[in-house]
A and B are shown apart, each in its own frame.
Chain A
């Protein structure tokens, strides 16, 4: 009996110890003021089943430019938690076959996060341009791709210089047969040319249609909207039949 008691006591003590340890640790893990554990992934209970949740606008770049780096760092995590919460709620609503109220909240948070990132990058770019005359970001350039078309090439980080990087060299040299590229480009450009031509013709005919329907139209506005259409030429077309205007 005494042995059992001893084991039980030991277990209890160890359990207590673990509990205490966990409590101490958990203080370090979460820095948020209100501890709601996993329920932080869910919206406030007042908003459950609501048809609309009102919110303000998103953070603009001008709002963020006057904030210190620490503030931006904190705000980022506030937004991130909000985003996680909204995604969870959306998923839950979809699961329950309900309508997610005010889905534009998600777009407001995403807009804010994009703006915040852009402001941080602006600051870093300023620092690097001042110190190293480079922007300190991944650079990209326009190169001719394997199909003979111009593509954006984003430079990446490597541990060895490109002169000795056989694999990269091989990747760069994979090209289609020149004669194939030539015939592909010919057809590609023909298609592009015909598309442009079709669009021009469509615009031209549309302008004639507008002229036929609206004889008192503002010509400047028309010119502004269809800059590539020659209006004099459109009026000379046989399709141009304006209605009689009695004033």
Chain B
């Protein structure tokens, strides 16, 4: 019972990859607690009344727009999301659009919403929207989401044509996407690992409060037959020879 509830509200790994935010923050930012059980003797301790079902859109769950969409009392029609075994479309992948006015055109994936099986393809499947900002009218092209299940197809890098694919293991035990038409491996682009803070892990620029790579990897632990407190007391020259009174744990 609880498992399915968790599945409904779980944020996809690839949706939050680019933002590089800790899970704790995402949970805190999207949480909507209406009531908590008071402390003390209760027949059901730690009961929380909070919003369980969230309506996912192109806005990220920690954004103010998401909170606006899911503000208390706002309900949305039920959304059916097709279950997928393994997510296979990553930022920077070349895909072909199979529906709409940009049918048979190829583009690069730039945004993922895993909760809805959506991706945005750069410059394709756009909608022209008119914004009226104080008398000044602006027209903007906005990419509309495409379903990964049947509205886009991956492009085979060998002949640049759309293809079906399958996840298979290489001899070294690595999982790769293999084109069903040519049998060639479709590599996962390097930009799949890209985040707001760095293009690749090696290219991260250290910030003033960061621990340096060298200090982080330095092994200073030496096992001794002491607890943490005993070792700290020894090093600080704190001597404790008082004998505590006998106590009982129950």
Contacts and interface: CB of A to CB of B under 8 A. Distances in A.
Given A210-B83, A218-B85, A225-B7, A155 B219 contact: no
B235 A70 contact: yes
A218 B83 contact: yes
Given A55-B209, A218-B83, A155 B24 contact: no
Contacts, number: 130
A165 to B, nearest CB: 8
Nearest to B229: A124
A157 B249 contact: yes
Given A151-B45, A210-B83, A225-B83, A69 B245 contact: no
B1 A162 contact: no
Given A110-B24, A199-B1, A56 B248 contact: no
Given A56-B206, A69-B232, A224-B85, A128 B249 contact: no
Interface of B: 1, 4, 7, 21-22, 24-25, 28-29, 41, 43-45, 80, 82-85, 149-150, 197, 204, 206-211, 216-222, 225-229, 231-232, 235, 245, 247-250
A103 interface: yes
B83 A222 contact: yes
Contacts of A156: 249-250
Contacts of B250: 155-156, 158, 161-162, 168
Nearest to B224: A69
A196 interface: yes
A101 interface: no
Contacts of A222: 83
B120 to A, nearest CB: 21
Interface residues of A, number: 68
Nearest to B235: A70
Contacts of B207: 54-56
A168 B248 CA distance: 12
Contacts of B209: 55-56, 82
Contacts of A226: 4, 83
Contacts of A58: 22
A57 B24 CA distance: 13
Interface string A209-224: 1100110111011101
